Chains A and B, each alone.
Chain A
Amino acid sequence: MKTTFKLLFLFVCLCIVSCSDDESGSSQTDNFDRSAMLENWADHIIIPAFEAFRVKTQNLKVKTSDFNANPSEATLESLRAAYQETYIQFQTVSMFEIGMAETVNFRMRLNTYPTESDVILQKIAANNFNLELPTSFDEQGFPALDFLLNGLAETDAEIIAFYTTDPNAEIYKNYLFALSSTINDLTTEVTYDWTTSFRDTFVNNTSSSSTGAVDRLTNDFVMYYEKYLRSGKIGIPAGAFTGNPVSQNVESYYSAELSKTLYLTALQSVQDFFNGIHFGTTTNGIGFDDYLDYLNTIKNGENLSLLINNNFDATITQAANLNDNLVEQVETNNTEMLQAFDQLQKNVILLKVDMMQALSISVDYVDSDGD
């Protein structure tokens, strides 16, 4: 009897020790290779996407300098072109708010919209601005750049005048440059972190706990789709949450002919990531679709990856009904916007309910006990 209890005690202690380190996890491999999926995500999608984006932000900064050195219609056009290319490229990395991107609030600092144009003008007038402040998130990034390049006045000549003849022309230039260079600095910082230390941290973090890389990025991915793609790009401007459409809430409001392209790029990037497609190619690597297919061989349920892809395809098809300029779309025929919202909604359900359940990943930050 006594020895039995001693043995039992020992066993309990062993087990408590073994479950108290369930946060760390080891790199076991089973039938589905999660570390291969993480490698594919890091090496063939996330890092190449950030690299490509970094190059664009570099060019954006150069074009801003060119414009500041010689504000003219030609340099303005070339800066606008750089802005557009960079903003489009941003849509391929925005969903990866993890690691350094999360630390520096990457998405908030690069793409909080609508921008506070009045505050920007006040700060320029006072020659007092600091983009590092959390309160200044809605006075920087692409939306602020959009305002300074496209929203200051009706005509190009009037806009250029702000950078030439205006008494505060130097401050306008400084603000403009601060915007581009902050975008570039932050992107460089995030990219550098991925290519040096974070890549290995990420790929090796195969733990099944809520801090594991698969768990974290899945949560980020689903949240991005629901909050920033569905609500941010379509739902909020369409007034889905208020009943009143507000076209000022469209992404890239001052150059709204870009807005649908931004939406479609984001949508395509999300679908590509879901399928594990290598960045900038058509090579199909390991992604959520493969993970779901593997788990489905165990439970023989619905073909979830197919259903989700069908919804993505249908959403892209529906987008053909939208005007390239979503501001015009909201103002002339908002019903199409609401239909886009409803279409996007279908995959919110499949991703957030069905996929998360299949992967046995719980929705973010819920760490209380179960029974």
Chain B
Amino acid sequence: MTFSTYLKQQTEAAPLAVFRILFGLLMCGSIIRFWLNGWIEKLYIQPQFFFSYYGFEWVKPIGDWTYLLFVICGISALLVALGFKYRLSIIVFFLSFTYIELMDKTTYLNHYYFISILSFLMIFLPASAYFSVDAARNRIFSFQKIPQWTIDSIKLLLVIVYFYAGLAKLNSDWLLEAMPLKIWLPSNYDLPIIGNLLQQEWAHYAFSWSGMLYDLTIPFLLLYKPTRTFAFILVVVFHVLTRILFPIGMFPFIMILSALIFFDAGLHHKILAFFSRIFSISKNQFDNGKNLILNPIKRKIVYPILILFFTIQILFPWRYLTYPGELFWTEEGFRFSWRVMLMEKAGYAQFKVVDSKTGDGFYVKNSEFLTPFQEKQMSFQPDFILEYAHFLADYFRRQGHENIEIYVESFVALNGRRSEAYINPEVNLLEYQDSFKSKKFILPFNDQIKGL
């Protein structure tokens, strides 16, 4: 089969419809949960300073209007689930969700990034062709069958996420030292039944190795029909276990529901029939046998975008290879690479404001400027440290200080190693601007972590 015949293959739209509905509902639920936990207030209203992604300094919380942003995001997620004005809804969702994530990189999580890029991908997929308000309102937009590649593109994204997460675990700390699980698992001592087990060293190794094997193989076990049901059971067990052991919020549920996309349409028709019974929807109206075929103009737009999208997804996690030094230590090229639950890192950064003329100086109380969460995240990530140093310089200049230089005494502990000096304390951080270049002020890592 050639690529062009593959592109012409048609399949049932039901799996994509189920995916759209569950994704939308889960996102709407996540937004509500975020709000109810008081995190909008705590993470986006209370702080007086926000850490920006390079190039996105203009994205900031908008005061109390930030709540409106979450309302828009939540409603658009719900509309995605309903399949109401789908294209507009998913674009609004992608933009509002991504804006939220760009407001402060303190809150960066791989799974937020996953949702951003997944929603971007969904803009180009005909997810409302079947079992949606759009399709019910206008027969012209109603199709029972859609191109096979549209469903496969979501599978491909999931394959990338899992496989890269597995590759990232191929390092000596994870496999040979069972770190950081050796730190994390014993702290779950109060779990019934497995609490004692988690104290055992062999259990730490078993969890490390099986986690790695799981990530590397699960996408293929899901793709291969004979192992699919077994793989799905593994997905559920694995993610529920991580949910119990670690504070990872909604992510496990997102991954469990996403994995349903690997199943044949039969299952999805049953799920949709179930929805139809509950909400008294006539499912038959959607089973019109019509084929959705993208017109040539749309194809000319969509194909290159998606090819570029996946090329970036496949290459981007490798960008760390262009930086010198240990990735876990410098974190240059760490984010956006599916390095999930991979290391235990903590730090402490004491900034000093120095008058270059007199040599006099004083220390900064981080708690005056940062929330505890921001301080925690700042203290072991060099780009945060640099951005904060510039913020401090601006602040103290406004306070009337002159000839300001900013130094930092910082210590970082990685995967249970003893804390070591992290940033060169002799370097005036104001001499550096943030960029994609390697940060010369990071002190070398005095150990070696072998592997990818």
Contacts and interface: CB of A to CB of B under 8 A. Distances in A.
Given A241-B364, A371-B110, A357 B344 contact: yes
Contact of B190 (A25, A356, A360, A371): A25
A298 interface: yes
A371 B107 CA distance: 11
Contacts of B292: none
A1 B186 CA distance: 37
A81 interface: no
A121 interface: no
Given A299-B416, A369-B109, A371-B251, A18 B187 contact: no
A12 B240 contact: yes
A370 B341 contact: yes
A48 interface: no
A361 to B, nearest CB: 7
Interface stretch (A27-35, A92-100, A169-177): A27-35
B243 interface: yes
A28 B196 contact: yes
Interface in A313-358: 345, 348-350, 352-354, 356-358
Determine which residue in A31, A32, A353, A362 has the highest number of CB atoms from chain B within 10 A of its CB, and name it: A353
B182 interface: yes
A28 B186 CA distance: 13
Interface in B1-56: 37, 39, 43
Contact of A348 (B109, B346, B348): B348
Contacts of B372: 363-366
Contacts of A368: 39, 43, 107, 373
B63 interface: no
Interface string B367-411: 000001100100000000000000000000000000000000101
Interface string B197-225: 00101001000000000000000000000
Contact of A206 (B190, B340, B347): B190
A365 B187 CA distance: 17
A352 B366 CA distance: 14
A360 B190 CA distance: 14
A230 to B, nearest CB: 11
A281 interface: no
A299 B373 contact: no
A235 B201 CA distance: 42
A110 to B, nearest CB: 22
Contact of B411 (A8, A241, A349, A365): A349
Contacts of B189: 28, 30, 32, 34, 208
Interface string B165-186: 0000000000001010011101
A147 to B, nearest CB: 26
A241 B199 contact: no
A353 B233 contact: no
B247 interface: yes
Interface stretch (B123-131, B355-363, B428-436): B355-363
A20 to B, nearest CB: 10
Contacts of A15: 240, 243-244
B412 interface: yes
Nearest to B249: A369
B357 to A, nearest CB: 13
A208 B190 contact: yes
Contacts of B353: 243
Given A353-B411, A358-B183, A30 B360 contact: no
Max count, chain B CB within 10 A of own CB: residue among A28, A208, A369, A371: A371
Contacts of B364: 241
Contacts of B362: 239-244
A284 interface: no
A353 B412 CA distance: 7
Contacts of B300: none
B373 A8 contact: no
Given A8-B233, A299-B182, A354 B240 contact: no
Contact of A240 (B191, B201, B346, B363): B363
Contact of A357 (B183, B190, B350): B183
A206 B344 CA distance: 23
Contacts of B110: 371
Interface string A266-303: 00000000000000000000000000000100110110
A27 B191 CA distance: 9
Contacts of B191: 28, 208
Interface of A: 1, 4, 8, 11-12, 15-16, 18-19, 22, 25-32, 34, 206-208, 212, 231, 235, 239-244, 295, 298-299, 301-302, 304, 307, 345, 348-350, 352-354, 356-371
Interface of B: 37, 39, 43, 107, 109-111, 177, 179, 182-184, 186-192, 195-196, 199, 201, 204, 229, 232-233, 236-237, 240, 243-244, 246-251, 256, 267, 340-341, 344, 346-348, 350, 353, 360-365, 372-373, 376, 409, 411-413, 416-419
7 contacts: A12-B256, A231-B365, A348-B348, A356-B346, A363-B376, A367-B247, A371-B110
